[in-house]
Amino acid sequence: MTYRVGIVGAGFGERVHLPAYAGHPNFEVVAIASPHSAQRIANERDITAFKDVNAMLAGIDLDVVSIATPPFSHHDDVLAALSAHKHVICEKPFALNVAQAQDMVQTAKTVGTACGVMHEFRYVPQRQALKELVQNGHLAPLRDMEITQLGMFLRAPVKRRGNWWFQKDKGGGIAGALLSHLIDTSTWLAGRPPVHSVGVLRTANARRSDEERSFTSDVDDGAFALLDYGEGLVARLTVDGTSAVDAFTLAVHAENRTAVSSGTSMTRNTLFSIDEQDTAELDCAPLKYAKFEPINDHVPLVMELLDAFSEQIRTGTSAVPTFEEALQTQRVLDSIGFGA
């Protein structure tokens, strides 16, 4: 069966959601909603344009609503789609605060349709291999995880458009954009939610500029969290957009060995296993949808997530990242000051 999809949001929605659904055999994109760009995209893709999610729900028959709007719109968009009894995928950060996240979780339980969150980085081959090492007991017992993502895109000289991304009350900042992924990964690898979390949101470069003006940012350009999962396991998470390099490291330390996935970004990594006798590079399964990588390196990962989501629609069970897991991530974000 092919599921009819309407996409809400024309930024990441156009760049990633649309090509991922369009290339997937189980989905067909039939509509897009955006106040400014929908008609252009609709003309290019031969689909139907709408101004917002409510107009889309009223104007065309859909099975799935894929929400790629900014965070401040997620709560209303998700509830609108659920009220129409649609299957829903929502971008991260899931909500502006825990109260909104709880509301969406409860409504989804009541409605009973398939729901998921776009934590596509679980499907990076090296992370899949790490999860398998944990599940098979090759990394045991777990004691410490450290995930560090460094980037140059928020250094002082870098010009970035002064939009909602630089407004705390709109859900902007690096914690929602990127730390949310790291929290999801550590919790997924741990196999349980943290029992306690602390952290710091840092704003190093509040004065920013784009091509048209100077403006003041009130959001974090660095986010740092310490999570306690109980039973002797902690995680240290760092995202910093003001660094001199682009780099990513995910290290999982157990009492019997360490595994480290590292590279220039979250998607381009090499995985190593380290113990007392040896350090070895581990081969990982290739991306299932690697041919779509030239479109955008997120697209193959989202397509694997859509494999799980279509199974969720069909059977009611799958490995798709859930609303409940997104609520766990939201609790951590709120504990370090993200909540609006």
Q: What is the pLDDT of residues 34-69, one digit of tens each?
A: 999 999 999 999 999 999 999 999 999 999 999 999
Question: To the nearest whole percent, how much of the chain has pLDDT over 90?
Answer: 97
40-62 burial: b if 16+ Cβ within 10 Å, else e: ebbeebebbbbebbbebbeeeeb
Q: What is the residue whose two structure tokens read 């990127």? A: 178
Q: What is the pLDDT of residue 332?
A: 98
Distance CA 66, CA 267 (A): 22
Distance CA 83, CA 68 (A): 18
Q: What is the pLDDT of residue 118?
A: 98
CATH 3.30.360.10 maps onto the chain at 122-288+320-335
The whole model's pTM is what?
A: 0.97
Tens digit of pLDDT for each residue in 218-274? 999 999 999 999 999 999 999 999 999 999 999 999 999 999 999 999 999 999 999
Q: What is the residue whose two structure tokens read 């602390």? A: 198
CATH 3.40.50.720 maps onto the chain at 3-120
Q: For strand 64-67 and strand 87-90, is the pairing parallel, antiparallel, or unpaired?
A: parallel
**pLDDT exceeds 80 at position 301:** yes
Residue 250, phi then psi, degrees to nearest 5: -125, 110
CATH topology of domain 122-288+320-335: Dihydrodipicolinate Reductase; domain 2 (3.30.360)
Q: What is the residue whose two structure tokens read 């590279």? A: 263
| Residue 339 binned pLDDT confidence (cut-offs 50, 70, 90) | confident
- β-pair partners for 277: none
Q: Does domain 3-120 have CATH number 2.120.10.30?
A: no
Mean pLDDT value of segment 124-152: 97
